[in-house]
Amino acid sequence: MADPYRIVVTGATRGIGRSLAEGFAQAGHTVYGCGRDQDAIAELAEQFPAPNHWTALDVTDPAAVEGWVTSVLSEGGAPDFLINNAAVINRRAPLWEVPEEEFAQLFEVNVLAVSRLMRAFLPAMIERGKGIVINLSSGSGRMGIAEMAPYCATKWAIEGLSKSVAQEVPDGLAVIPLSPGTVNTEMLRSIWDEAAKKQPTPEKWAQKAVPYILKLTPEDNGQSLTVQG
């Protein structure tokens, strides 16, 4: 294998994020993973010890994020991949029945935190002259879905945010909105129930997603991509 990559993964304690983090680590890459579940972080640290790093972190906490990014950068410089995966979803309901605080929380996690992580890591990646930012999008960010307006709105925002920043970064870098396709995650089951259970598990999905992501290049900058199941 070529030199291992340094890969940052947010929301690494469950679902898609955890399967990606585990897949990258199993492939010999160095993973800097964060998530809110301290028990899951401890499990990952035991399963994939140094040089991997696992941190209990809430991406909506600016001070905590700043400290974590400083630690990651001081450890070995800019990452090769920044994967913004952490996200939450709304309960299914018409927009007028979704409390404003729930709507705001989705934007805090799904959009503002992504922007925060990009602002924190991109200067170092630009100085290094290379690096790929992957912002997990969704088919919900490319079409409307009844009773999912808040979540769809955040993922449409990720598409626009990613495509705009893609035009701002210099050659050698890429910013890519990536839809994982449909995966049987806890989050999907919370809204689709039995239909979600018919989809591939995160572990099975990651068998295709990990090599797919590692093959992305600056030529993919700004493209809306999808992991094909």
Question: In the chain, what are the domains?
Answer: 6-226 (3.40.50.720)
Contact 43, 156 (CB under 8 A): no
| pLDDT of amino acid 185 | 47
Q: How many other C-beta atoms can be found within 10 angstroms of the C-beta atom of residue 63? A: 7
Rg (CA), the chain: 17
Helical segments of 129-201, H only = 149-166, 186-192, 194-197
| pLDDT of amino acid 192 | 53
| pLDDT of amino acid 203 | 81
Per-residue pLDDT reduced to its tens digit, 63-93: 999 999 999 999 989 999 999 999 998 888 9
Tell me the CB-side half-sphere exposure of residue 223, using CA atoms within 13 A: 11
List the catalytic residues.
Answer: 151
Per-residue pLDDT reduced to its tens digit, 38-49: 999 999 999 999
> Which of 87-91, 99-103, 156-160 is predicted least confidently?
87-91
How many Å separate Cα 176 from the centre of its chain?
A: 11
Backbone angles phi, psi at 29, to 5 degrees: -90, 160
Average pLDDT, the chain: 90
Position 195 pLDDT exceeds 70: no
Q: Which two tokens stand for residue 29?
A: 């890459």
- Please give the model's pTM, rounded to 2 decimal places: 0.92
| pLDDT of amino acid 141 | 65
